[in-house]
Amino acid sequence: MKFFIDTADVDAIRELHDLGMVDGVTTNPSLILKSGRDILEVTKEICSFVTGPVSAEVVAVKADEMIAEGRKLAAIAPNIAVKVPLTWDGLKTCKVLTSEGFMVNVTLCFSANQALLAAKAGATFISPFIGRLDDINLDGLDLIGDIRTIYDNYDFKTQILAASIRSPNHVKDCAMIGADVVTAPPAVIKALASHVLTDKGLDQFLKDWAKTGQKIL
């Protein structure tokens, strides 16, 4: 499974990148706002050290404007994935941009039928939002499973990019279902290493080591 980092915080991305935990990055207008930086500037900086796909989202709602914005974003670096919403205009944009050789990430997916349309439009990635479905008492993981089945049935090449990840359990479950990618905030990625028994065991080892009176260095 690939790990994409869902943030526009360059320092946070660099920290995980240095550990080999960054296969790509996803951003959106809300994350750009949180960063307090210009979208073109911060996206270019991220692409300067992240070699995997970096998603940058259009903000227009009509296809012609989306296409123009997408081309401008794609010009930032060869590894840009233009992010478009799952609307008819977004699907039109996806078809045009993918035919021009650009990667496209179709976002805000909440149903298997939407994911089917995105695959037929040539999307590189489909981003189903797990957490937001959970928020309205629907099981977001069921959607990942449904999309996996449909894509496997017809050998679609679109990669399932599980988004709106809220917890380490989401990551594990997506990996078991067969999502190609998860995109998660840095805090969730870091939390994958945490376990109460690891902490307890380390504490006991250190206490016992102290009793030996020995040193390694």
CATH, residue 103: 3.20.20.70
53-67 core/surface letters (b: 16 or more CB in 10 A; e: else): bbbbbbebeebeebb
Q: How far is CA 204 from the centre of its chain?
A: 37
Split at pLDDT 50, 70, 90, the class of 173 is very high
Helix pair 39-47, 10-17: axis angle to 10 deg: 10
Of 2, 34, 83, 157, which one is the catalytic site residue?
83
Q: Domain residues for 182?
A: 2-212
Residue 217 belongs to a domain: no
Q: Based on the structure, what is the number of domains in the chain?
A: 1
The reported pTM is 0.96
- Mean pLDDT, rounded, of the chain: 98
Residue 135 belongs to a domain: yes
Q: What is the pLDDT of residue 188?
A: 98
Phi, psi of 100 (to 5 degrees): -90, 0
Q: What is the pLDDT of residue 196?
A: 97
Q: What is the pLDDT of residue 10?
A: 98
Residue 203 belongs to a domain: yes
- pLDDT tens for 77-98 read 999 999 999 999 999 999 999 9
Residue 116 belongs to a domain: yes
Based on the residue annotation, tell me whether 72 is a catalytic residue of this protein.
Answer: no
* Cα dihedral 48→186→23→148 (10° resolution): -140
- Going 54 to 147 to 95 to 65, the CA torsion angle's sign is negative
Q: What is the mean pLDDT of residues 37-56?
A: 98
